[in-house]
Structure 1
Amino acid sequence: MSKDLSRKRTFVILGIVFLAGIAFAGLFNSGLAFTNQEEFCTDCHTMQIPFRELQESAHYKNASGVGATCANCHVPEPFFPKLLAKLIAAKDVYHELVGTIDTPEKYEARRWEMASRVWAKLKATDSRECRSCHDFRSMDLTEQDRSARSKHGNAEDKGQTCIDCHKGVAHEEPDAPETIGDAPDSDAT
């Protein structure tokens, strides 16, 4: 009888662990979905700057009525890359809290650095987030102007990815920082 009782306890414990796992996975997935919402992304006032830029872009407001949100461009759909993106995004919250980017002036001072990180990520992933909506195979090149048709037609052959040409499509493209050799000489008259 003690074997039966032990076996029943084991099944009960396994059942509880299984149900707890399902509950945890559901709550975790809900948390990920919540943090992908535009309202969440733009809650920090620092993120109002890029959000206003997005609102003025064709990625947000256009004739077709299809618009992209922050998560569409900045959060991958596959689970593990999404988790990594969420962990990396925690630095933005940190910098908001410690005051590194908490004013428009401080944000602008770091814009090149922040944009460069996003561009490098997109380059490394072959513009994965862009391709969730845009894909060379789905492009109707005959509907594009001559320049775009030529560039898109050659881009895939050259191994180029979206971000190689499309920096600044949803946000203001920052100016590259001046290097010391390029800076004007303040003593020159």
Structure 2
Amino acid sequence: MSNSGSNRGGTGWWAALRRPSAKYSLIALLTAGFAGGIIFWGAFNTGMEATNTLEFCVGCHEMRDTVFEEYKYSIHYSNRTGVRAVCSDCHVPKDWTHKLIRKVKASGEIWGKLTGSIATKEKFEAKRLQLATNEWERMKARDSIECRNCHSFDAMSPEKQQQTPYKKHMQAKLEGASCIDCHKGIAHKLPKGYKDPNAKDAEEW
């Protein structure tokens, strides 16, 4: 009797596995789950990529009326070759894992939007040094990987550079310096109060 009961239990378990639903087979449920997963992943990834566009980044007046106005006059926005680096090219990692981490951290900025912490140009300027320093530190920690996605010591032609930048680039390569160590204020103006530690006579902006 016990063996018979065990067999019935095993048969019942196998039957439930083969057909977990009275209406749909296991294959049908797995297929539906797989298709649903693809749709969800596609929608999620599409949404995340949409937040990388220039239009999204300057969709709020905090960015549009401040750093975007500066960026429009930089070489990253307009140049003779027609290659444009948008906000995400410099501020969002390319690899998916770090990109997701960056997006999660950036979601905290929603609170700043709701509370109006940089809602005016005056408030933005008051926090510009802090905001810039946070971003410089993030880039430094990643060895300026966003810069290196486009720029590389190995791809440089030293003979085409002027003497001063050539010497600085070669020195940086030997010392293992990161791009952001020297190249601050490229697309946006430097914050008031910032002092360049690399300058001989650092002046307050």
Same fold (TM over 0.5): yes
Between the aligned residues of both structures, percent identity stands at: 41
| Higher RCO (CA 8 Å, separation ≥ 6 residues) | 1
- Where 2:108 maps in the other structure, the secondary structure is helix
**2:167 matches 1:150:** yes
Q: Alignment partner for residue 46 of structure 1, among 59, 62, 70?
A: 62
What letter corresponds to residue 155 of structure 1 in structure 2?
Answer: A
What letter corresponds to residue 68 of structure 2 in structure 1?
Answer: F
What displacement does 1:64 show? 1.2
1:24-63 CA-partner distances (Å, limit 9, x unpaired):
1100110011111111110110011111111111111111
TM-score when normalising by structure 2: 0.81
Aligned to 1:18: 34
Aligned to 2:76: 59
Question: CA 1:161–1:177 in structure 2 vs 1: closer, same or farther (change >3 Å)?
Answer: closer
What displacement does 1:5 show? 6.0
- Where 1:93 maps in the other structure, the secondary structure is helix
Q: Alignment partner for residue 156 of structure 2, among 135, 139, 154?
A: 139
Specify which structure has the higher proportion of helix: 1
Q: Distance in 2 between matches of 1:60 and 1:72?
A: 11
Aligned to 1:9: 25
Aligned to 1:175: 192
Aligned to 2:202: none
Q: How does 1:18-167 map to 2 (within 5 A)?
A: 18-48=34-64, 49-167=66-184
Q: Structure 1 regions of 5+ residues with no counterpart?
A: 179-189
What displacement does 1:177 show? 6.5
Larger Rg computed on CA atoms: 2
Q: Distance in 1 between matches of 2:52 and 2:99?
A: 10
TM-score when normalising by structure 1: 0.88
What displacement does 1:148 show? 0.5
CA root-mean-square deviation: 1.9
Q: Distance in 1 between matches of 2:151 and 2:194?
A: 30
For these two proteins, the number of residue pairs brought into alignment is: 178
Q: Distance in 2 between matches of 1:5 and 1:158?
A: 63
What letter corresponds to residue 36 of structure 1 in structure 2?
Answer: N
Question: CA 1:105–1:149 in structure 2 vs 1: closer, same or farther (change >3 Å)?
Answer: same
Q: Structure 2 regions of 5+ residues with no counterpart?
A: 1-11, 196-205
What displacement does 1:100 show? 0.3
Q: Distance in 1 between matches of 2:125 and 2:163?
A: 35
